[in-house]
Amino acid sequence: MGFVIDTCIIVDAERERGTLSERLSVLEDDFFYISVISASELLYGVHKASDAKQKLRRHAFVEDVLTKFPIIPADLPVARIHARLWAELSSKGANIGSHDLWIAATCLAYGHKLITDNKSEFNRIKELDLI
């Protein structure tokens, strides 16, 4: 078991010029991962930077993060859980953001907990362990 770091945690570290290691140091585990969905969201942020200086700084930060943490792919086990969660949540009228749903499915497929500040959405998935 390990921890998947949600995109919001990484973005907060980049914006505040803090370090992820400070935020993660309270957890006694060395197994931290990032979903391929979060990797895409982070890279999107690089492309959407408002100016060249911000883009360079953000690019360096994101590339550092992507080399430090293993990336979990959206494979068939993740897709199976994603489809089930999507059907369950939509039948209750309790959908969450599509990227968040993929991240949640990744955690469940691999038996990891999710480190997030976005509990309002992720709390809708009762089987998901949140930090």
Confidence (pTM): 0.90
Contact of 9 with 20, CB cutoff 8 Å: yes
Contact of 4 with 35, CB cutoff 8 Å: yes
Contact of 18 with 61, CB cutoff 8 Å: no
Domains of the chain: 3-118 (3.40.50.1010)
- Measured between alpha carbons, how far is 91 from 103 in angstroms, rounded to an integer? 20
- In tens digits, what is the pLDDT along the chain, a chain of 131 residues? 899 999 999 998 888 756 677 667 666 666 899 999 999 999 999 999 999 999 999 999 999 999 999 999 999 999 999 999 999 999 999 999 999 999 999 999 999 999 999 999 999 999 999 98
